[in-house]
Amino acid sequence: MNVSFTLQAARINSGYTQKEVANKLKVNVNTIVSWEKDSSNLNFTRIQQLSTLYKVPMNMLFFGNKNEFIRKIRKNGFELLTS
């Protein structure tokens, strides 16, 4: 499973835009975009912050059930960008 996929899905399921997350974490929106494309540059503190913000356990961000994320996104009427 792609970690960036779960980061994006968790954000969408939480009802946040990339810009809102960037503002809350006091980072540039391009940083959020980068994390959702390639989360390898995320440090532990940022992972904790995202986990708290999205109300998702840290291990779910990395090992979450892909199908569960998709169901929630579809239920809420959001489109997941896979590119």
Query: Residue 9 belongs to a domain with what CATH number?
Result: 1.10.260.40
Orientation of helix 44-54 relative to helix 3-14, angle to 10°: 40
> Considering its fold, how many domains does the chain have in total?
1
- What would the DSSP string read from start to end of 42-53? --HHHHHHHHHH
Q: Which domain does 41 fall in, by range?
A: 3-75
Phi, psi of 52 (to 5 degrees): -65, -45
pLDDT in tens, 47-74: 899 999 998 888 777 765 555 655 565 5
Closest CA to 12 of 83, 71, 57: 71
pLDDT at 83: 39
Residue 68 has a pLDDT of 61
- Percent of the chain having pLDDT more than 70? 67
CB 7 within 8 A of CB 36: yes
Identify the residue with better confidence: 79 or 34. 34
* 81 inside domain: no
Residue 67 lies in a domain: yes
